[in-house]
Amino acid sequence: MNVLLVDDHPLILAALRAVIASFGNDDRVACAESAAQARERLREHPDLDLVLLDLMLGDAHGFDLLTEMRRDHPGVPVVVLSASESKNDVLQSLDLGAMGYVTKRSSNEALVAALRTVLSGGLHVPTHLFEKSGHEGTDGAGAAPGGGQRVPQSLIERLGLTARQADVLAGILRGLPNKLIARELGLSTETVKVHVASVLRALKVSTRTQAIVVVTQMQQEQLASFSWRRGRRG
């Protein structure tokens, strides 16, 4: 696995190196302490599997660099690692194409779990930031399905989605634009737009990013409910 770490704090870079080493693979890690260095590393390492990006850099704002990365290197997933716990920063990062957002208060285990989710094709959302009574000091994150996984049948039934709407929702959760969803499903872009509108209406949201957050929360609630029922039976 080839990883690029972008952060202007040497201590954080050292800590991130240790986290990547915990994967136990033959990993190659490149580091950049500025946006300029990040651009240089991206040119030097065209085979990157993942980028961890801090939003606050000395020579550029992370959002600008994220936009640039997604434009110039669309095949490389980017995970934002930030001290900010602002909901707006999370939503903007996802809107700009990040495949995950992890706060710097998260544990090493939570970071590793997030990176594994993204590397497997999923999308990592820190759902605790969107809960009415979030738990301080925990990541509380959820992972949207990706890499060909389908939306759970229980969730489809709960939302009252058709099979085709469920397919479109799976594409939304993978961060795919309408054109790619249309290509995968053999539909016209206009038809996909109609399905997207129906899915957003079923979720009672107005944007694709909000849909990702809501579905992730629903999945986490289902997992918690299942664990509670299993514990009761035990």
Percentage above 90 pLDDT, the chain: 29
Q: CATH 1.10.10.10 spans which residues of the chain?
A: 153-233
Mean of pLDDT values over 153-160: 89
* Average pLDDT over all residues of the chain: 82
Helix intervals (H) in the chain = 10-21, 35-44, 62-72, 87-95, 108-119, 153-159, 163-173, 178-185, 189-203, 208-233
The domain 153-233 having CATH identifier 1.10.10.10: the answer here is yes
Tell me: pLDDT of 204 over 80.
Answer: yes
CA dihedral for 52, 7, 106, 63, sign (positive or negative): negative
Q: Pull the structure tokens for residue 54.
A: 């801090």
Span 143-152, pLDDT tens digits: 444 444 568 8
Tell me what pLDDT residue 99 has. Answer: 87
Residue 76 tokens read as 């490389």
pLDDT digits (tens, 9 = 90+) for 163-189: 999 999 988 888 778 888 898 899 898
Q: What is the mean pLDDT of residues 8-35?
A: 85
pLDDT digits (tens, 9 = 90+) for 32-73: 999 999 999 999 988 899 999 999 898 888 899 999 999 999
Residue 131: predicted pLDDT? 55
**CATH 3.40.50.2300 spans which residues of the chain?**
2-144
Nearest partner of 160 among 151, 147, 171, judged by Cα: 151
| Cα–Cα distance, 11 to 22 (Å, whole number) | 17
Q: Which CATH number fits domain 2-144: 3.30.70.360, 2.60.120.10, 3.40.50.2300, 3.40.50.150?
A: 3.40.50.2300
Q: What is the pLDDT, as a whole number, of residue 224?
A: 59
Q: How many CA atoms lie within 13 A of 75 on its CB side?
A: 6
